[in-house]
Homo-oligomer: A and B are copies of this chain.
Amino acid sequence: MMNENENTQDQELNQFEENVENTAAEADDLNQKLAESNDRYTRLVAEFDNYKKRTSKEKLELMQSAGKDVIVKLLPVMDDFDRALGHMKDISDGDAIKQGVELVNNKFRKTMEQLGVKEMDVLGKPFDAEYQEAITSIPSPTPDMKDKVIDVIEKGYLLNDSVIRYAKVVVGQ
């Protein structure tokens, strides 16, 4: 009986020893995984920080370069102005001067159009508060002009189909 009892205890002891070893190995494994996970987190935090810094620098450059693109496209208009003003010195014929001005104006408009700028076409159209600002209203000259745009005080403009300036209009009552 004593031997059997001792044997059972030995077996239990072995079993416990094994369990302790397994659990210790598991703990080692977990410790390593935890260190890895923490390390991975720390690296991601650093990466995120770098990304944020780089991004804010990029944003600044982007803002400057986007404005720059528009400005560079307008330099030829300045050239045209210079040319027109140069020619104007030598001529006094009103019509010739007018022609020169119209050339510069056309170049300027075309450049603005290429940049996505579009003049609103509102005269005679029904008043639309989404695109127009009514400065005043006057009695409609004809009944069909009621609630329509009778005059444009300041032109409205769209940039790539969104309003950059409301048209300031006079509406018929």
Which residues from B are CB-within-8-Å of A52?
Answer: 51
Number of copies of chain A assembled together: 2
Q: Which of A45-99 contact B (CB under 8 A)?
A: 45, 47-48, 51-52, 55, 58-59, 62-72, 74-75, 77-79, 81-82, 84-85, 88, 91-95, 97-98
B30 and A23 within 8 A (CB): no
Total interface residues in chain A, CB < 8 Å = 76
Chosen A-B contacts, 29 in total, with CB atoms closer than 8 Å, are A5-B6, A6-B6, A6-B9, A12-B13, A19-B20, A23-B26, A26-B27, A30-B31, A34-B37, A40-B41, A41-B44, A62-B62, A64-B66, A67-B69, A70-B71, A71-B115, A71-B159, A72-B164, A74-B112, A78-B155, A79-B155, A81-B105, A84-B101, A85-B105, A88-B101, A92-B95, A94-B94, A97-B101, A101-B104
